[in-house]
Amino acid sequence: MSEPVIKCESVYKIFGENAETMLKEANGNVDAKTFQENGCIVGVNNASFEVSKGEMLVVMGLSGSGKSTLLRCISRLTDATGGKIFIEGQDLLNLNNKELIDLRRNKMGMVFQSFALLPHKTVVENIAFPLQIKGINTEQSINKAMDMVKLVGLDGRENYFPRELSGGQQQRVGIARSLAVEPDIWFLDEPFSALDPLIRKEMQDEFLRLQEKLQKTIMFITHDFDEALKLADRIAIMKDGIIEQLDTPANIVLNPATEYVRKFTEEVPREKVLLIEDVMDTTTTEQIGDLKVSKDEIIENVAEKILTQEKTVAVIDNNNNIVGSINPTKIINTVFGGRKNNN
C-alpha cells in the first residue's frame, strides 16, 4: 500500500482573534457553541481522512458547512489552526513560502466556483498564466496552453476574453488553467454550481471523461448530493465543520451514519446509485435461473431483466465466475422498500 497523497490528521480551522489559545484550552473537544460565545467561529472541526493516488474524494455539505474552508486548509490558502496535513508525505503546514510556491507550481491545480479568470487576459493567456508564472517562456507556454484549449474543446476561441464566453465555457478555461502545469493533485471548489442544469450535466460527463484519461488525485467540493454520488469514489459529508460520514456512495446510501446524512439519502433513487454487487446475496452461489448479470452493473440497467425472471439470478464477476445471487424481490425491496424500512 503506497503512501496516501493527501492525509489530514485532526485538522481544525477556527476563525477569530484568540482562536489558537482557545483551541489549546479546548483540548480536542471543540464545541461550536462555546466558541461562538467567545467570538470564534469554527470552520473545520477535527477533520481526519486520507486520499490515495488516483482517488476522487467528494466533500459534500450545505453552505456554511466548512467544506470550502477544509479545501482551503489543504491547499493552504488559509492556514489551519490545528492538526497536521501531509501532501505526499510532506508536512504542508511546515513548508516555508518558497516550498509552498514550488508545491503549487508543480503539484496542485485548483478550479473555482466563480471561475476566477483574469479579466485582462484572453483564453489562451489565462491558461498559460500558471506556466508563465513558473518562468516558462512565452512560446512554450502558449503552445502548451493551446493543447489544453483543445483538451477542453475550446478550439477557435483561444483569443476570446473571458467576458465574451458563456459560464460553461469560462469554467472550461478554469479547468484548462488548473491542468496546464499537469498537477498530481486537483482541487475543485464547486466548479459546476454556477452553471445551468443542462450545462452542468454536460460538464460532469466531460469531467468524468477527463478523469478517466488523467487519473488525478482529486478533492471535489459540492453542495449537490446527486453530483457527489455521480462523481465520487468516496464521499465526505460535512455539517458545521464536522465530517459526519466518509464512505463510498453505496455505503452512504445503504447505511447512513447519522440522521443528517439519512435526510440526503432519502430522496436518492437507489437504483441509479447502487450496483448489483452492493445488494447481492453472497451466501448462495449456485445458479438457479439461466440469466447472469455482472456485479458491476448499476441496478437500474438490469432491473427489468431481473424482474421478468421468476427465479433467482446469478451474479458474475469480470472473469465469468459466479460470486453471488440476486432474486427479484430483493430488487423490489431495494428500490421501493428500503425507504419504508428506514422510516
Partner 1 sequence: MELFKKYPKLFQWIFLLIVFFALCFAIDVPETYKFIRGQAEFVKDPNQSTFVFLGKEVRYYAFDVFWRLPPLLGWLPIWINDSLFFLMNDWMPMEFWNEDTQEYKTRPLVLQITRNLTAFMTFLIELIREILLGGLETIVAFTSWDWIDANPWAELPGLPWTIVAAGSAILAYKLGGRGLAIFAGLAMTYISIFGQWKPSMQTLSFILVAAPLSFIFGLSLGVAAFKSKRVEKALYPILLVMQTMPQYAVLVPALVLFGVGDHAAVIITMIVAVPPMILLTLLGLRAVPPEVIEAGRMSGCNNWQLMFKVLIPTARRDILIGVNQVIMVCFSMAVISAFIGAKGLGFNLLLALNQLNIGLALEAGLCISLIAILLDKMSLAWANKQVDYFGNLNFFQRNKNSLFFGLIMILGIALAYFGSIYFKGGYNYLFEVPHNKGISTADFWNKGVDWIFDTFFVYIKAFNTWLIVEVLQPMRALYLRMPAIATIVLVVGAGYLIGGTRSALVVCGLTLFIALSPWWDRALVTTYMATFGVIVSCIIGFTVGTLCFQNKHSTKFMLNVCDIFQTFPSFVYLIPVMMLFGITDTSVLIAVIVYATIPATRYTIEGLRSVPSGLHDAATMSGVTKFQRLFKIEFPLAFPHMMLGLNQTIVFALFMVIIGAFIGTEDLGQYILKALSDKKGAGIGLTLGICVAFIGLIFDNLIRTWVDKRKKHLGID
Residues at the interface with partner 1 (CB under 8 A)? 72, 75, 77, 97, 101-102, 104-106, 108-110, 112-122, 124, 129-130, 133-134, 138, 142, 159, 174, 177-178, 181, 187
SS3 104: helix
User: Which cell is 337 given?
Assistant: 422498500
Which residue's CB is nearer to partner 1, number 102 or number 147?
102
State the DSSP string of 221-277.
EES-HHHHHHH-SEEEEEETTEEEEEE-HHHHHHS-SSHHHHHHHHTS-HHHH-BHH
> Shortest distance, CB of residue 311 to partner 1, whole angstroms?
56
Element (H, E) at 70: helix 67-74
Which residue's CB is nearer to partner 1, number 129 or number 260?
129
> Shortest distance, CB of residue 145 to partner 1, whole angstroms?
9
> Shortest distance, CB of residue 190 to partner 1, whole angstroms?
11
Which residue's CB is nearer to partner 1, number 75 or number 334?
75
Measured in whole angstroms, the distance separating CA 232 from the mean position of its chain's CA atoms is 5
Angle subtended at Cα 78 by Cα 73 and Cα 80, rounded to the nearest 5 degrees = 55
Element (H, E) at 168: helix 167-179
Query: Cβ(268)–Cβ(229) under 8 Å?
Result: yes
Find where cell 421468476 sits. Answer: 310
> Shortest distance, CB of residue 183 to partner 1, whole angstroms?
9
> At 233, which amino acid appears?
D
> Shortest distance, CB of residue 142 to partner 1, whole angstroms?
5
Distance CA 188, CA 284 (A): 43
Which residue's CB is nearer to partner 1, number 60 or number 111?
111
User: Which cell is 230 given?
Assistant: 455521480
State the DSSP string of 233-246.
SEEEEEETTEEEEE
Residue 54: how many CB atoms within 10 A of its CB? 14
Residue 298, CB-side half-sphere exposure with 13 Å CA sphere: 11
Which residue's CB is nearer to partner 1, number 163 or number 340?
163
DSSP 298: B
> Shortest distance, CB of residue 128 to partner 1, whole angstroms?
9
> Shortest distance, CB of residue 192 to partner 1, whole angstroms?
15
Distance CA 86, CA 9 (A): 8
Which residue's CB is nearer to partner 1, number 22 or number 195?
195
Which residue's CB is nearer to partner 1, number 53 or number 105?
105
> Shortest distance, CB of residue 141 to partner 1, whole angstroms?
10
Which residue's CB is nearer to partner 1, number 219 or number 275?
219
